[in-house]
Amino acid sequence: MTGRRGRPGRVLLIALLSVLALNGCGPATRGKLLRAFFDGVPDGSGKTADAVKDARPEGKTEGPESGTKKQAGPATFFHPPFLEGMCDSCHDSTSSQKLIYNGKELCFTCHDDFTKDKKVVHYPVEADECLECHQPHQSDNERLLKKKVPQMCYECHDEKETRDLPAHQGKEKCLECHDPHASGLEKLLK
């Protein structure tokens, strides 16, 4: 009879030791342990990743367009901190669901604030809604977009109205003329 009562105590002890081990180990060991229990935890090797374009020595990138690494597979573009297993770059180390900052304040810890001194800021950026357009970890699309351009743009901008504008006749590439985040010109023109 006493053996059965001792089991919940053992389970609790094992759980407690596991939590302590995860908190006390380095990123590589923690990653190994997490990968043993959860799918999708990156290995951090980056062996098949291309170099990050336009990386600055201090770790910032030229803007939100740069900084994604491409790998083979279904989701081909990865946010470098995610790919390298640097979850603590964005997430509170005590809670994987909690971010260290909210909205664009989090993005601007690595990316330059591309809204400074701009006359026009695109609504999703101004409203701290970066995730309306971008995936935080990985995407099938460049720039970690949820959809390809122009389909991403048509999520908010009416496709027919946009295509019917005289300035858009014969043009398919929104980003050739428009900056998706902020601009010194009206209509986010470059």
Instruction: List pLDDT tens digits, range 100-159.
Output: 999 899 999 999 999 999 999 999 999 999 999 999 999 999 999 999 999 999 999 999
More confident residue, 12 or 25: 12
Residue 12 has pLDDT above 60, yes or no: yes
Phi-psi region of 110 (alpha: psi -120 to 50; beta: other; left: phi over 0): alpha
CA 120 → CA 66, 102, 189, distances in Å?
Answer: 21, 22, 9
> CA 60 to CA 111: how far, in whole Å?
5
On whether the CB atoms of residues 100 and 90 are closer than 8 A, the answer is yes
Torsional class of 147: left (φ above 0), alpha (ψ -120 to 50), beta (otherwise): beta
Q: Express each pLDDT in 43-81 by its tens digit.
A: 554 433 333 333 323 343 434 444 565 555 566 899 999
* The model scores a pTM over 0.85: no
| Residue among 51, 48, 53 at smallest CA distance from 71 | 48
